[in-house]
Structure 1
Amino acid sequence: HGATVWRVPDEFLALVDAEEGWRPYLLNFRYTVLDLGQIDDRQLSRQPNLRAWLLAAKYATRDGQQIQVKELLVEALVGVSYEDFRFLMRYVVETYRSYDERMVREIIRRVRPEEEMTMMSLFAQEMITKGKQEGRQEGRQEGRQEGRQEGEAALLLRLLQRRFGTVPTWANGKIANADLPTLEAWSLRFVDAQSLDEVFAVRM
């Protein structure tokens, strides 16, 4: 299910690095290679759970198409069991680089709204880790990140801007002067916060 057409062998011996003289004595068999990219999204499977898994897998490496396939993914997720839904959403959180926290929350809300808070809490650490990785990658590319603390601060600021819009001066000041543990605590609060005040509230 890669982003390009598969060109892989369909027999075992093609994968074995052996001297030519040994090849007649080695076990060989053929197997079926299924390229999901060549199958229409609505024809992947008639079985709801399997169709949802195949659809999610098909676009896991196709970053440029993940946003467009969101509606189809939501439609497929409606028909899956609760356990499959949880595992599928974890898979999406870990592999769909185009899906931010807001989009993941929207999908959960549309498919199983009663599970929104529980599942977002379960995925909090994965999403923060994913954000850190993306933040570090952007930092390396742009030459702006200098150390873990600066990366954490930059990530938190981007998340706040994405959800709440322009970040006020007082919040920028708090982020600029905070130590690493405080920044990490604010990042965790961000997952469920409905306002800037909830992110920076002093906890007793």
Structure 2
Amino acid sequence: MKTDHPIYLFLSAGPEAFRILTGGLRLAGGYRFCSLTIKTLERRLDGILEPDGHEAPVYAIEFMGQPAPGAWYNLLTKIGLYGEQYPEREVTGILIYLRERDRPACPSWIGAPGATPFGVSLEQVLPDWLAREPDNPYVAALAPLAIKDDATLQAQAPALWRTVEGAPLPQAQRDLLAQVLEFWFFERFRGLTAKEIWAMLNLVTPIQETMAYQSIFAEGKTEGKTEGKTEGKAEGKADTLKRQLTRRFGTLPDWTLRRIEAAPVAQLDLWLDGIFDAGSAEDLIGREGGQ
């Protein structure tokens, strides 16, 4: 499954997201954040932070959700293309990966003291953030990547949700962090339905009133639209996904069809976005009875 989108959402939530994701690096002054396609070879950077009205480094960020031996070279290529377009700018590259064992081995000089680009293993930095700043909503949004035991994560889910929803932040930033937290719960517990995950996250507020329902299940819903239209939208996307998966990988097992039919709109969108990167239907949807 593609994981670029939630990382983009997370970084767009402000400079605190950058501090958490990079293990403590702080932005000096104002920055503009966006995703950027390098025109020369049509290479897209997952995220780029450019100084807004002051002299400071540009940060080029790539997220590696799965092992990729050429990830350093990919990032170096993008930094070079960006620098070719903007030769007057100082560019610092950052490769973020889930597990330390996924860190690419070459080139060997990357990681030397003072070298750039540099890497950040979320497996190493997130547990420290949880220990030091458990009430930080930016930390809570990434907690499913740090808490390895499923039972522990399920027990802490309501508190994580409250940390994000009750944060003293603008509503737009809380919404972004809530979407990130939801995504990682869907990614972690692929065998559960949307309603089961919502129940895990929020045990008090009726599901129709939660941000999860509004942003995932009823995505695109405006005042006056009926629930039937939302369900129709999901059904149409589910049919498209099933058709594309069948065309690419052949006949799908029944459990895959059931999981697609039960998925909310946002999850279907993520699967549709990731279909051309998947090596099999299981890579995209998950395996029967689990993750």
The interval holding the TM-score normalised by the smaller chain is: 0.3 to 0.5
Which structure shows the bigger proportion of residues in strand conformation? 2
If the length of structure 1 is used for normalisation, what is the TM-score? 0.42
TM-score (normalizing by structure 2) = 0.33
| Bigger radius of gyration | 1
Structure with the larger helix share:
1
